[in-house]
Amino acid sequence: MKTLIPALLLATSVVGQPDSCDNATEFQYFHCESYQPDQAYSVNLCYFFHTSGSYVDFNFGYFAYCPDLTVEYTLYNILCDSVTSNTTGYFDIAPDVYYVVCGKVSCDDTTGLGVAQVCTAELLALPVEFLGMTGYATDAGVTLAWSTATEHGSDRFEVFRMRTNLDRGELLTSLRAAGYSASRIDYRWTDVSPNPGLGFYRLEGIDLDGSRRVLMILPVTWTVPDRSSLGPWDLLGRQVK
């Protein structure tokens, strides 16, 4: 079952940023680039991508009023040979094949625009539709719970424990994913030896093709329990009286 997920992608046009097929970057979700009034309002956005879906539907444009906005989209194969171009952003593609898409976004009439944001909207069929993760401290440790709405080609989830939200961290466990599912699935795992104080847990999803993505980084504070509250506990981390 194909699931479409809206995403915002980083605009890349400033000096030092990639602006062609040859130096396209991977999709970065939920990010826009701001441009001042004295900057040229013409940018080129290029990204490489792959998806389990059979089509993509791009929509590149300003998050500001532009009476004469024009966008020209070009789809390339991974060797940067042009496949096709159009002004709609809709392309039929082969599933799980790497492509590059570039969009030239232009707005010649910038009167009254002021500061503008250039973003791109896109519909992708992703291997995992992630619903979120929660974490809570118990006497037994730190319990993490996360859910997916659908899965298409998912292989496993990996949980890392980090001392800060920036370090690589330590791999704690690898849990098998459903692979293919059209309904909600809930996952749960408990770190029985967490570090005292504030720590961070990173959840990564790995697909059947080996690609991975960070799904969430979650801060959790854990305090060493006093002896009066020590175990035993059940599988859900609840103290057994």
* Annotated domain spans of the chain: 4-125, 128-229
DSSP secondary structure letter of residue 27:
-
- The type of residue at 232 is P
Can you name the residues that pair with 92 across neighbouring β-strands? 55
Instruction: For residues 32 and 105, give the distance between their C-alpha atoms in angstroms, rounded to a whole number.
Output: 14
CA distance 203 to 172: 10
3-state secondary structure of 154: strand
Q: Give the chain's end-to-end CA distance (angstroms, integer).
A: 45
| Predicted model pTM | 0.49
Residue 199: how many other CB atoms lie within 10 Å: 22
* Lowest model confidence (mean pLDDT) among 77-86, 109-118, 132-141, 217-226: 109-118
Question: What token pair was written down for 145?
Answer: 């719970």
The region, left, alpha or beta by phi > 0 then psi within -120 to 50, assigned to residue 149 is alpha
- Looking at residue 1, its pLDDT comes to 31
Mean pLDDT computed over every residue of the chain: 78
**The pLDDT value given to residue 233:** 57
Only one residue has tokens 């890349």, namely 12
CATH architecture of 128-229: Distorted Sandwich (2.70)
Contacts of 149 (CB under 8 A, 6+ apart): 3, 129, 130, 131, 183, 184
At 227, the pLDDT band (50, 70, 90 cuts) reads low
Question: Is there a contact between 5 and 129 (Cβ–Cβ < 8 Å)?
Answer: yes
Q: d(Cα 194, Cα 202) in Å, to the nearest integer?
A: 14
**Helix %, strand %, coil % of the chain (to 5):** 0, 55, 40
Q: What is the mean pLDDT of residues 78-99?
A: 91
Predicted confidence (pLDDT) at residue 100 exceeds the cutoff of 90 = yes
CB of 197 within 8 A of CB of 184? no
| pLDDT of 133 above 50 | yes
pLDDT band at 232 (very low <50, low <70, confident <90, very high): low
| Amino acid in the structure at residue 222 | W
Contact 190, 172 (CB under 8 A): no
Domain 4-125 = CATH 2.60.120: yes
**pLDDT tens per residue across span 196-210:** 999 999 999 998 878
Q: How far apart are CA 87 and CA 70, in angstroms?
A: 8
Q: Phi-psi category of 114—alpha, beta or left, where left has phi over 0 and alpha has psi -120 to 50?
A: left
- pLDDT at 31 exceeding the cut of 60: no
